[in-house]
Amino acid sequence: MVPIDNRIGIGLLGMGVIGSRVAQFVTEQEDYFAHTLGVRLALHSILVQDITKRRNDSLSNNLLSTNPDNILNDPRISVVLELMGGEQPALSYIERALYQQKHVVTANKEVIAKHGPRLQDIARHQQVQLRYEASVGGGIPIIGPLEKDLIANDIFSIQAIINGTTNFILTKMAQDGSDFVTSLDQAKELGYAESDPRNDLEGFDAAYKLAILATLGFRTKVDALDVYCEGISQIDTKDFQYAHELGYEIKLLAIGKKMGDKVHVRVHPALIPMDSPLAKISGAYNAIEVQGDLMGSVVFSGPGAGPASTTSAILGDIAAIVREEGIGLFSGAKPKIIREQGDYKPLPQRDLPIEPMAELETRYYLRLNVEDRPRVLAQIATIMGDHGISIASVIQKDTDLAANSAEIVITTHPAKEADVQEAVIEFNSLGTIKSLGNLIRVEQT
Protein backbone atom coordinates (compact mmCIF):
# COMPACT_ATOMS: atom_id res chain seq x y z
CA MET A 1 0.00 0.00 0.00
CA VAL A 2 1.09 3.55 -0.73
CA PRO A 3 1.50 5.51 2.54
CA ILE A 4 -1.44 7.77 3.21
CA ASP A 5 0.86 10.77 3.58
CA ASN A 6 2.49 10.21 0.19
CA ARG A 7 0.12 12.58 -1.61
CA ILE A 8 0.20 15.19 -4.32
CA GLY A 9 -2.43 17.89 -3.89
CA ILE A 10 -4.56 18.76 -6.93
CA GLY A 11 -6.56 21.93 -7.60
CA LEU A 12 -8.98 22.07 -10.53
CA LEU A 13 -9.90 25.29 -12.34
CA GLY A 14 -13.11 24.70 -14.28
CA MET A 15 -15.67 21.93 -14.15
CA GLY A 16 -17.16 21.68 -17.59
CA VAL A 17 -17.32 18.44 -19.56
CA ILE A 18 -13.55 17.83 -19.38
CA GLY A 19 -13.14 19.05 -15.82
CA SER A 20 -15.95 16.82 -14.59
CA ARG A 21 -14.42 13.77 -16.25
CA VAL A 22 -10.97 14.51 -14.80
CA ALA A 23 -12.39 15.07 -11.31
CA GLN A 24 -14.30 11.79 -11.56
CA PHE A 25 -11.21 9.81 -12.57
CA VAL A 26 -8.97 11.37 -9.94
CA THR A 27 -11.43 10.58 -7.14
CA GLU A 28 -12.79 7.21 -8.29
CA GLN A 29 -9.46 5.77 -9.46
CA GLU A 30 -7.41 6.83 -6.42
CA ASP A 31 -6.16 3.32 -5.66
CA TYR A 32 -5.22 2.68 -9.29
CA PHE A 33 -3.17 5.85 -9.49
CA ALA A 34 -1.57 5.12 -6.15
CA HIS A 35 -0.52 1.67 -7.35
CA THR A 36 0.69 2.97 -10.72
CA LEU A 37 2.40 6.19 -9.65
CA GLY A 38 3.36 5.41 -6.08
CA VAL A 39 1.62 8.57 -4.90
CA ARG A 40 -1.98 9.40 -4.11
CA LEU A 41 -3.69 12.19 -6.04
CA ALA A 42 -5.66 14.27 -3.55
CA LEU A 43 -8.26 16.61 -5.07
CA HIS A 44 -8.55 19.53 -2.63
CA SER A 45 -10.60 22.19 -4.43
CA ILE A 46 -12.53 22.86 -7.66
CA LEU A 47 -13.24 26.33 -9.03
CA VAL A 48 -16.77 26.64 -10.47
CA GLN A 49 -18.96 29.55 -11.54
CA ASP A 50 -22.05 28.41 -9.64
CA ILE A 51 -21.93 26.18 -6.57
CA THR A 52 -25.72 25.74 -6.59
CA LYS A 53 -25.77 24.20 -10.08
CA ARG A 54 -26.97 20.59 -10.08
CA ARG A 55 -24.27 18.17 -11.14
CA ASN A 56 -24.50 14.51 -12.05
CA ASP A 57 -21.52 13.35 -10.07
CA SER A 58 -20.60 12.09 -6.62
CA LEU A 59 -18.16 14.87 -5.73
CA SER A 60 -18.57 16.50 -2.36
CA ASN A 61 -19.88 20.06 -2.49
CA ASN A 62 -17.17 20.87 0.05
CA LEU A 63 -14.66 20.73 -2.82
CA LEU A 64 -16.46 23.41 -4.84
CA SER A 65 -15.54 27.09 -4.65
CA THR A 66 -16.08 30.28 -6.61
CA ASN A 67 -12.88 31.81 -5.22
CA PRO A 68 -9.68 31.03 -7.18
CA ASP A 69 -7.60 31.94 -4.11
CA ASN A 70 -8.77 28.72 -2.49
CA ILE A 71 -6.68 26.91 -5.09
CA LEU A 72 -3.91 29.35 -5.97
CA ASN A 73 -3.02 30.15 -2.34
CA ASP A 74 -3.52 26.69 -0.83
CA PRO A 75 -0.10 25.32 0.25
CA ARG A 76 -1.44 21.75 0.08
CA ILE A 77 -1.98 22.05 -3.69
CA SER A 78 1.14 21.49 -5.77
CA VAL A 79 -0.50 20.77 -9.17
CA VAL A 80 -3.14 23.06 -10.71
CA LEU A 81 -5.26 21.76 -13.59
CA GLU A 82 -6.56 24.63 -15.77
CA LEU A 83 -9.55 23.39 -17.78
CA MET A 84 -11.56 26.59 -18.14
CA GLY A 85 -10.73 27.47 -21.75
CA GLY A 86 -10.51 30.94 -23.25
CA GLU A 87 -7.72 33.45 -22.78
CA GLN A 88 -8.91 35.21 -19.62
CA PRO A 89 -9.11 34.68 -16.71
CA ALA A 90 -7.34 31.40 -17.45
CA LEU A 91 -4.06 33.14 -18.37
CA SER A 92 -3.91 35.14 -15.14
CA TYR A 93 -4.67 32.04 -13.06
CA ILE A 94 -1.91 30.06 -14.78
CA GLU A 95 0.56 32.88 -14.18
CA ARG A 96 -0.39 33.12 -10.51
CA ALA A 97 -0.09 29.37 -10.04
CA LEU A 98 3.39 29.33 -11.58
CA TYR A 99 4.55 32.26 -9.45
CA GLN A 100 3.25 30.35 -6.41
CA GLN A 101 5.59 27.51 -7.53
CA LYS A 102 2.75 25.19 -8.42
CA HIS A 103 2.98 22.88 -11.42
CA VAL A 104 0.33 23.57 -14.08
CA VAL A 105 -1.41 21.19 -16.48
CA THR A 106 -3.66 22.82 -19.07
CA ALA A 107 -5.67 21.92 -22.16
CA ASN A 108 -5.95 25.59 -23.16
CA LYS A 109 -4.78 25.86 -26.77
CA GLU A 110 -5.50 29.60 -27.02
CA VAL A 111 -3.39 30.51 -23.98
CA ILE A 112 -0.49 28.29 -25.03
CA ALA A 113 -0.59 29.49 -28.64
CA LYS A 114 -0.48 33.14 -27.59
CA HIS A 115 1.62 33.00 -24.42
CA GLY A 116 3.26 29.58 -24.23
CA PRO A 117 6.96 30.53 -24.45
CA ARG A 118 6.57 33.31 -21.87
CA LEU A 119 4.68 31.01 -19.48
CA GLN A 120 7.29 28.31 -19.99
CA ASP A 121 9.95 30.84 -19.10
CA ILE A 122 8.11 31.69 -15.87
CA ALA A 123 7.85 27.99 -15.03
CA ARG A 124 11.53 27.60 -15.72
CA HIS A 125 12.51 30.37 -13.32
CA GLN A 126 10.09 29.14 -10.66
CA GLN A 127 11.47 25.58 -11.05
CA VAL A 128 8.07 24.07 -11.78
CA GLN A 129 6.50 22.43 -14.80
CA LEU A 130 3.95 23.71 -17.32
CA ARG A 131 2.44 20.86 -19.32
CA TYR A 132 -0.10 21.06 -22.14
CA GLU A 133 -0.27 17.74 -24.00
CA ALA A 134 -4.09 18.01 -24.14
CA SER A 135 -3.96 21.35 -25.97
CA VAL A 136 -3.35 19.70 -29.37
CA GLY A 137 -4.84 16.47 -30.66
CA GLY A 138 -6.73 15.42 -27.53
CA GLY A 139 -5.22 12.11 -26.47
CA ILE A 140 -2.75 11.90 -29.37
CA PRO A 141 0.77 12.14 -27.92
CA ILE A 142 2.43 14.89 -29.95
CA ILE A 143 3.69 17.61 -27.56
CA GLY A 144 5.95 15.19 -25.69
CA PRO A 145 7.53 13.73 -28.84
CA LEU A 146 8.23 17.22 -30.24
CA GLU A 147 9.79 18.32 -26.95
CA LYS A 148 11.86 15.19 -26.36
CA ASP A 149 11.77 12.15 -28.64
CA LEU A 150 12.29 14.09 -31.89
CA ILE A 151 14.62 16.73 -30.47
CA ALA A 152 17.61 15.49 -32.52
CA ASN A 153 15.70 16.10 -35.76
CA ASP A 154 15.65 19.24 -37.85
CA ILE A 155 11.89 19.26 -38.41
CA PHE A 156 10.94 21.02 -41.64
CA SER A 157 7.29 20.07 -42.23
CA ILE A 158 4.11 19.68 -40.17
CA GLN A 159 0.86 18.87 -41.96
CA ALA A 160 -2.17 18.07 -39.88
CA ILE A 161 -5.89 17.56 -39.54
CA ILE A 162 -6.31 18.93 -36.03
CA ASN A 163 -9.95 19.90 -35.70
CA GLY A 164 -12.42 17.07 -35.19
CA THR A 165 -15.52 19.19 -35.80
CA THR A 166 -14.53 20.32 -39.29
CA ASN A 167 -13.18 16.90 -40.24
CA PHE A 168 -16.50 15.32 -39.23
CA ILE A 169 -18.44 17.86 -41.32
CA LEU A 170 -16.21 17.44 -44.38
CA THR A 171 -16.40 13.64 -44.06
CA LYS A 172 -20.22 13.73 -44.03
CA MET A 173 -20.26 16.02 -47.07
CA ALA A 174 -17.79 13.79 -48.92
CA GLN A 175 -19.32 10.42 -48.10
CA ASP A 176 -23.04 11.16 -47.80
CA GLY A 177 -23.39 14.13 -50.12
CA SER A 178 -24.89 16.16 -47.28
CA ASP A 179 -24.77 19.93 -47.55
CA PHE A 180 -22.77 22.07 -45.12
CA VAL A 181 -25.70 23.10 -42.90
CA THR A 182 -27.05 19.55 -42.56
CA SER A 183 -23.61 18.20 -41.71
CA LEU A 184 -23.05 20.95 -39.12
CA ASP A 185 -26.41 20.21 -37.48
CA GLN A 186 -25.47 16.54 -37.20
CA ALA A 187 -22.11 17.47 -35.67
CA LYS A 188 -23.97 19.51 -33.04
CA GLU A 189 -26.39 16.65 -32.31
CA LEU A 190 -23.48 14.25 -31.74
CA GLY A 191 -21.61 16.69 -29.52
CA TYR A 192 -18.74 17.28 -31.97
CA ALA A 193 -19.67 20.92 -32.54
CA GLU A 194 -20.42 23.53 -29.89
CA SER A 195 -23.52 25.72 -29.97
CA ASP A 196 -21.30 28.51 -31.32
CA PRO A 197 -18.85 26.64 -33.60
CA ARG A 198 -17.20 29.67 -35.25
CA ASN A 199 -13.74 28.98 -33.80
CA ASP A 200 -13.83 25.55 -35.44
CA LEU A 201 -15.52 26.46 -38.72
CA GLU A 202 -13.36 29.52 -39.41
CA GLY A 203 -10.12 27.64 -38.67
CA PHE A 204 -9.13 29.57 -35.52
CA ASP A 205 -8.97 26.43 -33.35
CA ALA A 206 -6.64 24.74 -35.84
CA ALA A 207 -4.55 27.92 -36.07
CA TYR A 208 -3.97 27.92 -32.29
CA LYS A 209 -2.86 24.31 -32.43
CA LEU A 210 -0.60 24.84 -35.44
CA ALA A 211 1.09 27.77 -33.68
CA ILE A 212 1.91 25.45 -30.76
CA LEU A 213 3.20 22.66 -33.01
CA ALA A 214 5.28 25.02 -35.17
CA THR A 215 6.82 26.72 -32.14
CA LEU A 216 7.94 23.36 -30.75
CA GLY A 217 8.82 21.70 -34.05
CA PHE A 218 10.71 24.57 -35.68
CA ARG A 219 12.07 25.91 -32.35
CA THR A 220 11.05 29.46 -33.09
CA LYS A 221 8.24 31.64 -31.78
CA VAL A 222 5.11 31.28 -33.89
CA ASP A 223 2.14 33.29 -32.67
CA ALA A 224 -1.44 32.38 -33.53
CA LEU A 225 -1.72 35.72 -35.36
CA ASP A 226 1.12 34.60 -37.66
CA VAL A 227 -1.04 31.79 -39.05
CA TYR A 228 -3.02 32.50 -42.22
CA CYS A 229 -6.54 31.26 -41.51
CA GLU A 230 -9.43 30.29 -43.78
CA GLY A 231 -12.46 28.17 -42.82
CA ILE A 232 -14.72 25.63 -44.49
CA SER A 233 -18.05 27.47 -44.76
CA GLN A 234 -17.59 28.08 -48.52
CA ILE A 235 -17.16 24.40 -49.36
CA ASP A 236 -20.05 23.04 -51.46
CA THR A 237 -21.08 19.46 -52.19
CA LYS A 238 -20.16 20.18 -55.84
CA ASP A 239 -16.55 20.69 -54.78
CA PHE A 240 -16.42 17.15 -53.39
CA GLN A 241 -17.93 15.76 -56.60
CA TYR A 242 -15.35 17.49 -58.78
CA ALA A 243 -12.49 16.79 -56.39
CA HIS A 244 -13.28 13.08 -56.43
CA GLU A 245 -13.35 13.10 -60.22
CA LEU A 246 -9.87 14.63 -60.13
CA GLY A 247 -8.62 12.07 -57.58
CA TYR A 248 -8.67 14.26 -54.45
CA GLU A 249 -10.32 14.58 -51.05
CA ILE A 250 -10.99 17.92 -49.36
CA LYS A 251 -9.67 18.47 -45.84
CA LEU A 252 -9.07 21.43 -43.56
CA LEU A 253 -5.28 21.31 -43.34
CA ALA A 254 -2.93 22.97 -40.91
CA ILE A 255 0.41 23.32 -42.69
CA GLY A 256 3.73 24.46 -41.28
CA LYS A 257 6.91 24.56 -43.33
CA LYS A 258 10.44 25.61 -42.43
CA MET A 259 12.28 26.68 -45.58
CA GLY A 260 15.82 27.81 -44.89
CA ASP A 261 15.59 30.75 -42.51
CA LYS A 262 11.83 31.30 -42.95
CA VAL A 263 8.67 29.68 -41.59
CA HIS A 264 5.35 29.42 -43.43
CA VAL A 265 2.18 28.61 -41.44
CA ARG A 266 -1.39 28.40 -42.76
CA VAL A 267 -4.78 26.79 -42.14
CA HIS A 268 -7.25 26.39 -45.01
CA PRO A 269 -9.25 23.79 -46.96
CA ALA A 270 -7.12 21.83 -49.42
CA LEU A 271 -7.47 19.19 -52.09
CA ILE A 272 -5.16 16.31 -51.21
CA PRO A 273 -4.57 13.05 -53.16
CA MET A 274 -6.96 10.26 -52.20
CA ASP A 275 -4.07 7.86 -51.57
CA SER A 276 -2.31 10.14 -49.07
CA PRO A 277 -2.41 9.19 -45.34
CA LEU A 278 -4.24 12.36 -44.33
CA ALA A 279 -6.99 11.80 -46.93
CA LYS A 280 -7.97 8.63 -45.08
CA ILE A 281 -8.57 10.40 -41.75
CA SER A 282 -12.35 10.48 -41.36
CA GLY A 283 -14.97 11.57 -38.86
CA ALA A 284 -13.78 13.39 -35.75
CA TYR A 285 -10.31 11.81 -35.89
CA ASN A 286 -7.12 13.87 -36.08
CA ALA A 287 -3.74 13.17 -37.66
CA ILE A 288 -0.42 14.99 -37.58
CA GLU A 289 2.35 14.24 -40.08
CA VAL A 290 5.80 15.41 -39.03
CA GLN A 291 8.87 15.29 -41.29
CA GLY A 292 12.43 15.61 -40.07
CA ASP A 293 15.90 15.09 -41.48
CA LEU A 294 16.67 11.94 -39.47
CA MET A 295 13.33 10.18 -39.00
CA GLY A 296 11.78 10.95 -42.36
CA SER A 297 7.98 11.10 -42.09
CA VAL A 298 5.91 9.93 -39.10
CA VAL A 299 2.15 10.21 -38.58
CA PHE A 300 0.42 10.54 -35.21
CA SER A 301 -3.31 9.83 -35.35
CA GLY A 302 -6.29 9.08 -33.14
CA PRO A 303 -9.34 10.69 -31.54
CA GLY A 304 -8.64 14.39 -31.53
CA ALA A 305 -11.27 15.55 -29.10
CA GLY A 306 -13.75 14.45 -26.48
CA PRO A 307 -13.69 13.99 -22.72
CA ALA A 308 -12.04 10.57 -22.69
CA SER A 309 -9.08 11.32 -24.93
CA THR A 310 -8.47 14.74 -23.38
CA THR A 311 -8.64 13.26 -19.87
CA SER A 312 -6.06 10.69 -20.94
CA ALA A 313 -3.64 13.44 -21.96
CA ILE A 314 -4.21 15.43 -18.75
CA LEU A 315 -3.62 12.44 -16.49
CA GLY A 316 -0.53 11.58 -18.55
CA ASP A 317 0.83 15.05 -17.83
CA ILE A 318 0.20 14.58 -14.10
CA ALA A 319 2.07 11.27 -14.24
CA ALA A 320 4.97 12.95 -16.03
CA ILE A 321 5.19 15.59 -13.29
CA VAL A 322 5.26 12.87 -10.64
CA ARG A 323 7.98 11.04 -12.54
CA GLU A 324 10.18 14.03 -13.32
CA GLU A 325 9.85 15.56 -9.86
CA GLY A 326 11.16 12.37 -8.27
CA ILE A 327 7.95 11.47 -6.45
CA GLY A 328 6.59 7.99 -5.89
CA LEU A 329 7.59 4.72 -7.52
CA PHE A 330 9.61 6.25 -10.35
CA SER A 331 12.53 7.30 -8.19
CA GLY A 332 11.74 6.16 -4.67
CA ALA A 333 12.50 9.70 -3.50
CA LYS A 334 10.01 12.30 -2.34
CA PRO A 335 12.11 15.47 -2.34
CA LYS A 336 11.65 17.77 -5.31
CA ILE A 337 14.50 17.89 -7.81
CA ILE A 338 16.07 21.34 -7.95
CA ARG A 339 17.19 22.26 -11.46
CA GLU A 340 19.74 24.76 -12.58
CA GLN A 341 18.33 27.60 -14.63
CA GLY A 342 18.35 26.59 -18.29
CA ASP A 343 18.02 22.90 -17.49
CA TYR A 344 14.37 22.52 -18.48
CA LYS A 345 12.26 21.98 -21.58
CA PRO A 346 13.59 23.67 -24.70
CA LEU A 347 12.25 27.14 -25.40
CA PRO A 348 12.31 28.62 -28.92
CA GLN A 349 15.99 28.83 -29.81
CA ARG A 350 15.73 31.22 -32.75
CA ASP A 351 13.58 33.97 -34.17
CA LEU A 352 12.78 33.00 -37.75
CA PRO A 353 10.66 35.39 -39.85
CA ILE A 354 7.20 34.31 -41.01
CA GLU A 355 6.87 34.18 -44.78
CA PRO A 356 3.80 36.10 -46.04
CA MET A 357 0.95 34.09 -47.51
CA ALA A 358 1.34 36.06 -50.76
CA GLU A 359 4.67 34.27 -51.34
CA LEU A 360 3.13 30.78 -51.27
CA GLU A 361 3.56 28.67 -54.41
CA THR A 362 1.16 25.78 -54.85
CA ARG A 363 -1.46 24.43 -57.22
CA TYR A 364 -5.05 25.69 -57.27
CA TYR A 365 -8.59 24.50 -57.98
CA LEU A 366 -11.07 27.09 -59.23
CA ARG A 367 -14.80 26.64 -59.78
CA LEU A 368 -16.34 29.41 -61.88
CA ASN A 369 -19.93 30.03 -62.94
CA VAL A 370 -19.80 31.73 -66.35
CA GLU A 371 -22.01 32.76 -69.23
CA ASP A 372 -22.37 29.92 -71.72
CA ARG A 373 -21.08 31.67 -74.82
CA PRO A 374 -17.97 31.71 -77.02
CA ARG A 375 -14.59 33.12 -75.94
CA VAL A 376 -15.34 33.07 -72.20
CA LEU A 377 -12.66 30.45 -71.58
CA ALA A 378 -10.26 32.42 -73.77
CA GLN A 379 -10.81 35.52 -71.59
CA ILE A 380 -10.11 33.47 -68.46
CA ALA A 381 -7.00 31.91 -69.98
CA THR A 382 -5.70 35.33 -71.03
CA ILE A 383 -6.03 36.74 -67.51
CA MET A 384 -4.31 33.71 -66.01
CA GLY A 385 -1.55 33.86 -68.59
CA ASP A 386 -0.98 37.55 -67.94
CA HIS A 387 -0.32 36.65 -64.30
CA GLY A 388 1.99 33.76 -65.09
CA ILE A 389 -0.55 31.08 -64.09
CA SER A 390 -0.35 27.89 -66.15
CA ILE A 391 -3.56 25.86 -66.58
CA ALA A 392 -3.28 22.13 -65.90
CA SER A 393 -6.87 21.07 -66.72
CA VAL A 394 -10.28 22.51 -67.62
CA ILE A 395 -13.60 20.72 -67.23
CA GLN A 396 -16.98 22.19 -68.18
CA LYS A 397 -19.78 21.05 -65.84
CA ASP A 398 -23.50 21.67 -65.28
CA THR A 399 -24.59 23.68 -68.30
CA ASP A 400 -27.89 25.49 -67.56
CA LEU A 401 -29.55 26.33 -70.88
CA ALA A 402 -32.35 28.30 -69.24
CA ALA A 403 -29.94 30.52 -67.34
CA ASN A 404 -27.42 30.54 -70.20
CA SER A 405 -24.68 29.55 -67.75
CA ALA A 406 -22.09 26.84 -67.29
CA GLU A 407 -19.71 25.80 -64.53
CA ILE A 408 -16.03 25.54 -65.32
CA VAL A 409 -13.55 23.72 -63.09
CA ILE A 410 -9.90 24.69 -63.59
CA THR A 411 -6.78 23.28 -61.96
CA THR A 412 -3.42 25.00 -62.26
CA HIS A 413 0.22 24.12 -62.21
CA PRO A 414 2.17 25.62 -59.27
CA ALA A 415 1.53 29.36 -59.10
CA LYS A 416 2.15 32.19 -56.68
CA GLU A 417 -0.65 33.09 -54.27
CA ALA A 418 -0.37 36.80 -55.00
CA ASP A 419 -0.74 36.19 -58.74
CA VAL A 420 -3.78 33.96 -58.27
CA GLN A 421 -5.50 36.50 -56.01
CA GLU A 422 -4.87 39.27 -58.56
CA ALA A 423 -6.32 37.09 -61.30
CA VAL A 424 -9.43 36.46 -59.17
CA ILE A 425 -9.94 40.23 -58.84
CA GLU A 426 -9.88 40.52 -62.62
CA PHE A 427 -12.30 37.59 -62.99
CA ASN A 428 -14.78 39.45 -60.82
CA SER A 429 -14.60 42.43 -63.17
CA LEU A 430 -15.51 40.36 -66.24
CA GLY A 431 -19.17 40.58 -67.15
CA THR A 432 -19.03 37.04 -68.54
CA ILE A 433 -18.12 35.50 -65.17
CA LYS A 434 -21.20 35.35 -62.96
CA SER A 435 -19.46 34.18 -59.79
CA LEU A 436 -16.35 32.57 -58.37
CA GLY A 437 -17.81 29.38 -56.88
CA ASN A 438 -14.65 28.47 -54.99
CA LEU A 439 -10.88 28.72 -54.88
CA ILE A 440 -9.12 25.87 -53.05
CA ARG A 441 -5.42 25.15 -52.83
CA VAL A 442 -4.13 21.76 -53.97
CA GLU A 443 -1.50 20.14 -51.72
CA GLN A 444 0.66 17.10 -52.39
CA THR A 445 0.81 15.63 -48.87
Residues tagged active-site: 209
Distance (Å, rounded) from C-alpha 75 to C-alpha 102? 9
Q: Judge contact between 130 and 96, C-beta under 8 A.
A: no
Distance (Å, rounded) from C-alpha 17 to C-alpha 119? 25
Q: Judge contact between 83 and 77, C-beta under 8 A.
A: no
Count the residues in the chain. 445
Q: Judge contact between 120 and 216, C-beta under 8 A.
A: no
Distance (Å, rounded) from C-alpha 126 to C-alpha 278? 40
